[in-house]
Amino acid sequence: MKSTFVNSRIRDYIPCKHNIVIFFIFIFFICPAVRHWFFHQKVEWLYALIISSLISYLCIPVVKRIALGLNITDNPDNKRKIHKTPTALLGGVAVYLAFASTIIYTNAYSLELKGVAIGATIVFVVGLIDDIVCLRARLKLLVQIIAVSIMIYYGVVADFLPNVWWGYTLEIAITFIWMLGITNSLNFFDGMDGLAAGLTIICSVFLSILAIQTHQYYLMILSITLAGSCLGFLPFNLRYKKPALIFLGDAGSTFVGFLLASMIIVGDWGSKSPIKAYAMPVLIMGIFIFDMTYTTISRIASHKVANFREWLEFTGKDHLHHRLTTLGLSPKQTVHFIYFLTASLGMSALVLRNGKVLDALLLLIQAVFIYIIIVILMVRGKIKNRRKEDPIE
């Protein structure tokens, strides 16, 4: 019996044949000659996608083993959890390492990236600490504010208002609201297997296509690298008829959320009209704006929160993915539904590139109508469930 146990523990530390093959593929791609060929063929985006995916994929088994060994797990100990067994955290560590190392290896540097990188790293480190010891929401928000402030110091700020004092003030305020809102919204979406990582991949791919359309080489590399970093993680987080092996954790979800939000600020969306310029990325990221807005309004209307402190510390199953399951969708069906919704609006953004300001307004109104339809369905589902619980009514 003891021999069997020892042998099983030894097998845990021996890489499987599949991972060994992936490792040698990785060694092949990091060869300078291979890297030079991709850059010479003007397909740096493909190289960044492959390298970041491979690094993330190879890191996951290692960080998973570390998380389980140190008991850094997400335990299903309250009603908000939908998984059945303790699941390793630290998936975000693999994503962070994949993104950072790929950007360094491909020499994709800029002054703006320095501010984003410092801010994102601060958010990542605090999220990692939170995964281990559980920090207070107010402390995490304070750190996020500091991270955004550093990013603004390096010149990463929304730029679409007149160059006067009130224009600068509003742009800084909008930058704070946007960064904090998207960062935390993506963190809230990390509640079902594959949801946060999949949404990051979809949004990043559309942003990279948009960057190509608007001739923003640098932004294209950043966004496709983020997509690849999450792509290598996804097979371990979204498995066919099986639960996730590892979660992003707060470190991963806030890190990718911060990066996604900052890419919108960094980007120059190829139009002198602010409405058309920002309609494109807003359509791509609309799912996060909708969820944050709807849950806030819903909580205030139902008197679940009465002030900012209560809103900040409130936890509940009232986000979009939770509400869709009340309509009868399974968790995986819910994830795929949100995938298709995000991709559909992302396609609208790509079409808008050659459109006019009126087209931008019409597509934004269309997106609002789509979300209103979803709200109607969710409210109807909530009423129906209430009647089931109280037949007398």
- Encode 219-231 in three state secondary structure: HHHHHHHHHHHHH
Question: In the prediction, which pLDDT does 112 show?
Answer: 72
Q: How far apart are the C-alpha atoms of 294 and 323, rounded to whole Å?
A: 11
- Mean pLDDT over each residue of the chain, to the nearest integer: 84
pLDDT grade for 323, boundaries at 50, 70 and 90: confident
% the chain with pLDDT above 90: 42
Residue 7 has pLDDT above 60, yes or no: no
Determine the pLDDT at residue 379: 81
Any idea which of 156-165, 187-196, 300-309, 360-369 has the lowest mean pLDDT? 300-309
**Which has the closest alpha carbon to 221: 54, 50, 352, 59?**
50
Unique residue bearing structure tokens 């998207």: 182
The pLDDT of residue 2 is 40
The strand ranges marked E within the chain are 73-74, 87-88
Q: What is the pLDDT of residues 218-252, one digit of tens each?
A: 889 999 999 999 999 999 999 888 888 999 999 99
Sequence letter at residue 109: Y
Q: Contacts for 363-366 with beta carbons within 8 Å, 24 or more apart? A: 363/279, 363/283, 364/279, 364/282, 364/283
What is the four-CA torsion angle of 314, 290, 122, 200, rounded to 10 degrees? 120
Residue 98 in contact with residue 56, Cβ under 8 Å?
yes
For position 276, what pLDDT does the model report?
Answer: 75
Q: How far apart are CA 44 and CA 112, in angstroms?
A: 20
Find out whether 115 and 153 touch, Cβ atoms under 8 Å: yes
Quote the pLDDT of residue 303: 76
CA dihedral 144, 145, 150, 154 (to 10 degrees): 110
DSSP H helices, 30-136, are: 32-40, 44-69, 91-105, 111-133
CA distance 220 to 108: 10
pLDDT category at 386 given cuts 50, 70, 90 is low
* Ranges of each domain in the chain: 14-389
- Out of 77-81, 230-234, 284-288, 293-297, pick the least confident: 77-81
Neighbours of 114 (CB within 10 A): 15
Residue 145 has φ and ψ, to the nearest 5°, of -65, -40
Non-local CB neighbours of 43 within 8 Å, separated by 6+ positions = none
The reported pTM is 0.89
